[in-house]
Each structure stands twice: as C-alpha cells, then as structure tokens.
Amino acid sequence: MANQRDSKDMAKAEHSVLPPKDASTFRQMMDLYNMKQFKKSLKVADALLLKYPNHGEVLSFRALILTNTDPNKRDEIMQFAREGLRHDLKSYLCWHVLGVVYKQRKMFKDSVKCFITALRLDPRNDRLVRDICSLHIELGDYSNFRKYASIALQLKSTSYREWMVYSLSHYMCGSIDKALKISQEAQTIFSGSYGVEPFEISGSILYTAMLMEQCGQYDECIQFLINSEHLVLDVVMHLERLGRAAVFAKRWDVAHQSYKKLAAINTGSARYHLLYVATHKDVIAKDIFCFPESSAYSVIAAARRNHAKVEEAATFTENCALDSSNPKEAFDKAVLLGEEILDIDGIYSTANWHTEKMVNRVYDRFVNRMRILAEPKDNPTKDEKLFIGCYSYAEYVRRVGVQFDVADLPNPYSVKLENVEHDLAAYLCDYPLARNCVYDVRSKITQWSRYPLFIYTRDIAEDESHLILSALSELNTGCYLVKVLRIFFMPKYQPLEYHALLDHAIKSGSVNVMRYFERTCTFVTVYYLMVLLSKYESNLSQGYALGKDIIYSVDRQSSGNEVSLQSWEIAMNQYRLVVCMLKARLCDFIGKHLSALEILEGHVREAPTSVELHLFLGKVYRHVGRLDRSNIAFCRAYDIDRSDRQTSTKAAKSLLRAGYVERSRDVWRHFLMEDAVDSTNGTERGDELNDVAPEIKSIQYELMVADLYKSLYLIGGDSSGCDTCSNGDALTYLTKLHDIYVSVLERHHEMYLNQIDFHNYCLNRLHYHAYSLFHFIRENYATQSYFMDAVQGVFWTSAEIHRMRISHETTCERALISNHENTTINYCLDLLHIVNSQRVYHPALYVAIYEFSCLVPVPPTVKAQLLMRAYEACNGNSYHHSLYPMVLDIILKSEYKEFPQILSLVIPVERRIALDKQAPKFCDMGGNELIDEDAAALYLEDITRGIRRMGLREFEQCEALVHCSTILPTYISRMISTLGDLIHRTCTFTFEQCRIHRLRLRRLGEMATADHSASVTQLIGELDRYAETTFATAIAAYC
C-alpha cells in the first residue's frame, strides 16, 4: 500500500511536514516496508517517534508494521492506529492504515468507512478505489461496488482492465444487458492493444461470450467465439461455450464439430460423446433427442430465470399427449437429455448441493406429468401404476428398484444365452417405460441415479437405434464409454457386445468396470451382466476360456508344453478372481449383500494381499452391519498399503464405526498431515499443524464423530465398546455433539465468507466467467449437504438442550444478527436467517428447524415460510412424510389462520376436509365447521387414505404417522388398526439407516403412552424382521 507517490504527498502536507532529512528517513522506512524488511522498518519508525512522538503518519505506519511483525499485539496495534489518526485527521495514510487494521480483524464495514474517508482526502488514489471495491464485494453490496468501479474507470479510462471490472459490477447487480454492452465496447476500443497478459485476454473473451449467451444472443456469441479463437487459451472452455451456444441457436453443424473435437480431447467424457451423437445431422433429422432449455443455465438474474422456467414448464407440458397409454404419444422424442448434459459450470453435475435449481428439474417434470395422466384412470396399466404417487424422478427410480428383482428371473447359471432376451421380454412386457429406467435399489439414491445424463420416454425404434449407433461408430475413440453407449442404444440383446467389453476388462485386471455402467445401468443391463459373469465363472471353474459358448465352442485348454500350461493356470486364477469381484460388486449394487459376501469370503484366501479385495470385503461387511469384521478388513488393507490416502481414510472411518475413536483419529491425522514431518531433519513441525486450512474430508470425518456421539446419547450414555468414552451422563454426549456441529459450521463459514484477498486477486485478473461462478457458490454455500447436516444437527441438539433445560454456551466469533440472551438460541436464529436467505431446498432440514421453532417462540410467518419451503423441496408432494408433523402442529395450534393460502396448498385433496380461506376455518364434506382437533384427525385420515390408494406404504410414512399420533392422542385408536396394513415390505434401508430409525423409534416409544408404545413396538418389530432377513444381523445388538 505504501509507494513513492504516497511519501511525496505526505512530505508536501502542511499539517505534518517533516524536515527534509527526516522526510528522507520516512521514505526509507516505507521502502523497507515495501521490500518486506519489517524489522528494519520498525527500527526506523521507532527512531522517528523518538524525535516526533505525536507525528500521526509515523504512528500509523508503526501500527501497519506491527500487523506484519507481531499481529498478536492487537490492542497495541489498534492503539497506535487510532493515536496516529487523532494527531492527523487530514492524512489519507492514517485513515488507510486504520482501515487495514479493521480489515485484518474482519471488521469490514468499519474498514470500508475508513477507506472511503481516505479516498475523499486523496480522490485520485486508484489503489484505494480497488480496496473499496473488494470490500463491497465481500459485504455483498454490489450496488456500491458498481459505484466505485465507475470511479475507477474515470480515473483510468484508458485501461482495458477497468472497463471489464465495470462490466463485472453491472453483471453482479443483475444488469446483464448493460454488462454486455460495456464489455463489447471495451472489445471494440482496445482490439489489438489490450495491454494485459494473454491469459487475461482469453478470460475476458470467454466472459463476454458468457454474457452474450445469457442475453440470448446465440448467433452473435458463435460468431464472436469463432473470430476470437486465436486469442483464447482455454481450448476446452472455448469449445464448450461454442457448442452450447450452437445448440441453443440450433446451429447443429457448428455444435457437432465442437463436440467432435471435445470427444477427441477427452475420450472419457460421456457428455461429449452423447452430444456428438445428439447433434449429428441424421439424428437431428429424425428428432430423437430432446435438449434442455437455455434458462436452466443462468447463475444471475433470478427473477428472469424464474419467469423463463415457468414458460419452459408450460411448453414441456404441452408436448405431452393427453393419453399416456401409448408411450410413443406420451412424449414424441425418444431420449430426454438432462440439464447436466450442457452443464459447463458444474451447477448440476456437482453432487450434494440442494439449490433452487435442483428442484423440479426436467426429469421431475416428466414424472409429474406421467403421474397426472395416470392417477385419474380407473384401470391404469402396471407401468402407469409406478408413476402414481411419484413427484420426482428419484422417487420413481426407487419405485422401479422395488418392483423388479433379479431373483424373479431364471437362475443366471442355468439360463441359456439365446433365452435371455425372451425371459426378459416376458418379465417386462407390462413395463415399456420402467424397463428403461435406471435401476437402483439403494434408499439413498445417488446423484447419477437421481439425475442421469438421459432417460427414455418410450422404447427406441430400430431405425432410431441404427442412426445413433452409426453416429457412435464414427468416433472410433476405442474407449469404454462408446462401447457402453452402443450397448444401451441397441434395441435387442447383443451378448457379443457385452462380452467384448467385459473380456477386455477382465484380462486387464480392472475391477472397477461397473462405474462405466452406472449411468446406463437399467434392470435389463443388470441381468445381462449377471448372466455373463455367471457363465464366465462356470467356464473358468472348468478350465475353459471366458468366451466358451458365448462367441465360440471350445474344448478344455490344451498346451504344447509345461510352461504354457503353468501360464494358463496362473492367468485363469487371475481371471477367476476378477470375475468374482465383478460379480460381488454387481450383487452388492442390486442389494444382494449376503450373496456378495459369500462370493468374497470364498476367494479372500486366494489373494490375501489384494488391497481391492479387502476394501470391498470391508464395504460389504459394513452394508450387512458386521462392523467388527468390516473394521478388520479395512485395517488389513491399510496395513498392506499405508501410502494410499483412500485406504487410510476408509480405515479411519471403519475404526470410528467400530468405536476405536483415538486410533481412528491417529489414522485420520496421518492421512491429512502426510507432510507433518520435516523431510530435512525428520522432526515434527509442531504448532504449525494447527494452522492447516480445513479440508472437506476433515469436516466429513467430524460429522461421523458427531454421529457416534448422537448414537451414544440416544442409547442413553452406554458407551461400552467405545475406547474413549466412559459410561455416564448422556447429556455430556449431547453437549459434545452440539459443539462439534458448531465447529463444523464455523469452519464452513470461514472457508466461504472470508475471501477478501481472493476478491483483490480476481479483480486484477480477467477470468470473470469463473469468478461469477465462484460468487454463485459463495451466495449458496448453505446448500452444501454437509453444511445442512451440521445445521440440522445444531437445531436438533439445541431443541434437546432446551427441552432438557441444560445450561450450555455456544461460542462464536462471528457477529450474529440476533441478540437473544441465550447464546444457543441466538446462534440458531442466525442460522435460520442464513438458510432462508439462501433458499435451501432440503425437507429434513426444515423439519429439524420446525421442531426447534416449536420449543422457542417464533413468529407464525416464519413457520409459514418453513412449511412452504419444505413443500417446495418435496416437489409439491403433499404426501411426503416430512410434512405430516408440521401441518398437524399448525392445525392444532390454529396458526393456519395467519396463512390459510399456504396451508391450502399443502393439504392433500382427498375431499374429507376443506379449508375456507376467507373465514378461515376447516369444514367437513357437509360444510360443517370443525374444531381444530377434529380437523387434524381428518387430515391424518386423508393422508392414510391417500397412501393406501396410491400404494406407497413406505416405512418413513408409517414412522411419521406414528410420530403424529403422539401429538394427537385421539388418532391413535384409529391408527393401530390400520398400521399393519400400511407397512409394506418395500423398505430399502441400509443397515446404518435401520439402526438410526430404530434408535429414533425407541426414543419416541420412551416418551409415549402405553397405547402409543404399541404402535412404536409394531414398527420396531417390522424393522427388526427386515434387518434379519436382509442382513442376517440382529440390529437390536447395535442399539
């Protein structure tokens, strides 16, 4: 911040003039500071203060030097800075130094005030303007950022960089048209003489192209990118921008050439290969693929995006026919592409973010439309019944996973290859749409299962398949993705195609080939793979080659000499091990955990040093709940290879699940701090480890520790089997749990909020297309999954602390918005403000917040907002189990009178009760007014009726109804008689989820009456039977 011009201006100042000799000494002190020789600079400052103890600028500069030499002397630094300002109020340097001190203490509002005052005293200091711009960005005050960006442009109107900063300020304020106009004007003025580095020119070109795309100027964007191709250094991003703009402009030839080049650059990208096929001229002429709309990819201007989203949804609905009995008419195009297919910025492809964009996506709208068409029908087809009650694609995937089972088909070992297609056709003849759905039986649907790259809206015709396969054959990349896509787009079973793919993987020793099938893994694909792997296993066990009876018929392998026979046996043993691991992975994937365990246990002796085998064995043991054996398997893998970071993390997690907390922390610390030992002398760096920046994996580990403490609290303090916890007060675990959640949240805040230095850096560079995405992430950081887990945990523990009347202080260094006398409640209210301001969409989070709001008084408008946000996060599903307790509580407390419009949206339409929004009051079918308790009971009966009518009957819904029965005692007598009918054996919990639900139910039963306990016991018994059948493990032993 100090420079020669500063010193000259200071020397001329009449109010603080130093003699020429001392003025030269002052300039020397500033030069030493600029050269980072802080100790020498401090000596000069002390010498000047001996002669001039009241010189304001010397006092301020001494404070500035101390911020670098000894930042822990906070009080002394602030004292010198204020003292210097008191002695020289007209010195911009004194104001600037005080602003720097405030900025280092993260008091950004005070800092920007000091910088603005300094700018008034030195109005042509462009460096001050840049600091003010950075602070306004950090504070989220984009209008003032635009104001001072304009001042910076006036000071340096001949600088290309300042023009682009001014354009960025308009963009961040939402004025995209204005930002584009300024950027285009700068391109015209400075064309050929930008005066910046080549990589900055490249970034500004891509930023301008992004603005053109968001303004809908697709043809202009294409021409601009083509003309500027020689200036862009990021070839991949240039082609991505060009290809996407060409798709939106329907310039298919330009798009096709772009994705052809991208597929050649990155042969492992499924997106590029699919887009190459989808933009092929023959495929376009046949109109096979449906592309996502352009409105899905804007990260700024929410109002415009929401308006476009409504229009897009209306257009999508119009494309769906009124009769879904004919899949061809239900949606004219065969393949529906998801938003991820054109996702350049990672808004959709990045997993575990619950932003507004993740709700009501194109697949969800398709499933909703099919549901709307199916529900009114008296006799829907079997395929249509799977859509009933599904409000999102994830729910539909889960329903399909429950409906189909490989065990219903002929044994893969005995079935003939020529009969596979016939058997599958007979089994799936009533499910033309479901047969093409992604197959996933896990309760926690993965990102690729919830939103694959594409889905079928109908069976693909043979001529359409031929066109797609012809386009794929033109790539000739030889990668696995092309082969997998060929398999998926084939209208009939082709065992040779499957064999060519698996044969290469087995002979190369690849055990992760399943990842290539993830995005295209339908039930049909699963059965084909199971049959082929079973054939391989049978052939190898008899000494035959892999392809026997698949591509040729051979006798047992013969060899000319002993050496070749020995080599053959070695190869066969290796192939057999790989085949068994692949089959075990497939069995585990489809929920056949015990079958996978049987396969692995039979081969672990053959390869005792295989890290992959032990890791996967530990994973399957974990899935069936045998945590002790899972820990042994993971630790064996860790002992074999301690240099692998992934192995270390899995071993640490397994130790934690088994209760060995201290040992787990040691292994985890070794994983995070591999460079904790000085390689020169072998000594530890000691306290430097405390300064290591938090990592995402470290935060996830802390959440796992929190889960352990939560289990101990729910169990009641019994910590037998845990090496660091003594049996005792469960409340101790509750407070530890609360503190862990708070620490995770504060580290998360630190990572995303305190980025002032990064803003300074980015404003001096011109990669604003990436910088705008950073701001999108920063403004939505509360939507990250582990942040929401921690927030949910804080609200749950705070509610428990309040309910148990425990005195506990929540410490936080941040300035909180609320000023409640209770620090824990104050912290929760601040989190509630953050969650609401960032529009987080996660039902379980709002349930936890609502439970907290029932204990701590909050305005009814807040509850209305929580209910509405939870309803939107459930894709508008009134039968979602997260909503029952919230709606029931609002009805019983008569709070619906404050917001009848919102509650009328959430109540299901079963015609048992009606809400008069004018009165407001509840009425029955006859129009008679109901008291709140009767209305609440009828609401629960409507939910029960709807669940039975739609055939949902999921465990979570039963659990939510039992929870509601504890709130409304009059409902329990009706509930017990129907609960057994509602519980359906469609539960797809993992073992850990079973354990958590059982602990939760046990806790609910402890607080319930005798009648309520009967329904809770009934649910617990069903859960125990499911765990015993699925995992062959008594879950009660872990609770």
89, 105, 123 - which closes a domain: 123
Residues 874 and 781 grouped into a single domain:
yes
3-state class (DSSP) for residue 952: coil
Residue with tokens 């675990």: 733
Integer Cα distance of 1023 and 1004 in angstroms: 15
3-state class (DSSP) for residue 900: helix
Token digits for 128? 């001050």
Q: What is the pTM of this model?
A: 0.85
Domain contains 43: yes
Distance of CA 472 to the CA centre of its chain: 32
Residues 643 and 763 grouped into a single domain:
no
Domain contains 370: yes
DSSP code, position 1035: G
One-letter identity of residue 820: H
Integer Cα distance of 406 and 410 in angstroms: 8
> With contact defined as beta carbons under 8 Å apart, do 714 and 797 qualify?
no
Residues 119 and 54 grouped into a single domain:
yes
| Domain count for the chain | 4
Domain contains 63: yes
Residues 719 and 652 grouped into a single domain:
no
Phi-psi bin for 1032: left (phi > 0), alpha (psi -120 to 50), beta?
left
Integer Cα distance of 795 and 741 in angstroms: 10
> With contact defined as beta carbons under 8 Å apart, do 48 and 16 qualify?
no
Integer Cα distance of 971 and 961 in angstroms: 10
Token digits for 223? 């021409």
**Nearest one of 78, 85, 77 to 54, comparing CA atoms:** 85
Phi-psi bin for 285: left (phi > 0), alpha (psi -120 to 50), beta?
alpha
96, 123, 150 - which closes a domain: 123
Integer Cα distance of 970 and 940 in angstroms: 11
Integer Cα distance of 342 and 248 in angstroms: 10
Token digits for 331? 């949606």
Domain contains 447: yes
Residue with tokens 């009933």: 388
DSSP conformation letters of 194-217: --S-HHHHHHHHHHHHHHHHHTT-
427, 459, 491 - which closes a domain: 459
Residues 650 and 701 grouped into a single domain:
no
Integer Cα distance of 218 and 210 in angstroms: 10
* pLDDT score for 722: 55
Residues 663 and 704 grouped into a single domain:
no
Phi-psi bin for 361: left (phi > 0), alpha (psi -120 to 50), beta?
beta
Residues 375 and 344 grouped into a single domain:
yes
Task: Give helix 627-640 / helix 611-623 axis angle, nearest 10°.
Answer: 160
Integer Cα distance of 129 and 146 in angstroms: 11
One-letter identity of residue 69: T
* Pairing assessment for the beta strands 289-290 and 335-337 based on DSSP bridges: parallel
Residues 771 and 674 grouped into a single domain:
no
DSSP code, position 915: E
CATH of the domain at 71: 1.25.40.10
* pLDDT score for 609: 87
* pLDDT score for 837: 84
Which residue range(s) make up the domain with 645? 608-678
**Nearest one of 79, 144, 84, 66 to 108, comparing CA atoms:** 144
Peptide bond into 920 cis (omega under 30): yes
Distance of CA 267 to the CA centre of its chain: 25
**Nearest one of 30, 51, 54, 53 to 42, comparing CA atoms:** 30
What residues in the chain have per-residue pLDDT under 70? 1-16, 299-331, 351, 443-449, 477-478, 552-566, 671-697, 717-728, 911, 953, 969-988, 1005-1015, 1032, 1034-1039
Residues 867 and 914 grouped into a single domain:
yes
Integer Cα distance of 729 and 27 in angstroms: 65
* pLDDT score for 560: 44
Token digits for 221? 């964007």
* pLDDT score for 370: 92
**Nearest one of 958, 966, 961 to 983, comparing CA atoms:** 958
Residues 706 and 824 grouped into a single domain:
yes
DSSP code, position 72: T
Integer Cα distance of 315 and 294 in angstroms: 13
Most distant CA pair in the chain: distance in Å?
105
Residues 663 and 724 grouped into a single domain:
no
**Nearest one of 339, 305, 303, 605 to 454, comparing CA atoms:** 339
Phi-psi bin for 87: left (phi > 0), alpha (psi -120 to 50), beta?
alpha
Integer Cα distance of 332 and 316 in angstroms: 11
Integer Cα distance of 191 and 185 in angstroms: 10
Integer Cα distance of 311 and 297 in angstroms: 15
Domain contains 803: yes
Integer Cα distance of 308 and 316 in angstroms: 12
Q: What is the pLDDT of residues 189-234, one digit of tens each?
A: 998 888 899 999 999 999 999 999 999 999 999 999 999 999 999 9
Domain contains 180: no
Token digits for 486? 């060929």
**Nearest one of 732, 771, 774, 773 to 752, comparing CA atoms:** 774
> With contact defined as beta carbons under 8 Å apart, do 487 and 498 qualify?
yes
Sheet of 454-456: strands edge to edge?
A: 289-290, 335-337, 454-456
Q: What is the pLDDT of residues 917-928, one digit of tens each?
A: 888 888 888 888
> With contact defined as beta carbons under 8 Å apart, do 705 and 661 qualify?
yes
Domain contains 217: no
Q: Where are the alpha helices (DSSP H) in 249-356?
A: 252-265, 270-278, 281-286, 302-319, 327-330
Residues 659 and 720 grouped into a single domain:
no
Integer Cα distance of 714 and 998 in angstroms: 10
3-state class (DSSP) for residue 839: coil
* pLDDT score for 238: 96
CB neighbourhood size of 541 (10 A) = 11
Domain contains 396: yes
Integer Cα distance of 112 and 132 in angstroms: 6
Integer Cα distance of 38 and 35 in angstroms: 8
Q: Which residues of 938-950 are buried (b: 16+ CB within 10 A; e: fewer)?
A: bbbbbbbebbeee
Q: What is the pLDDT of residues 784-840, one digit of tens each?
A: 888 999 999 999 999 888 888 888 888 887 877 777 788 888 899 889 888 888 888
CB neighbourhood size of 731 (10 A) = 15
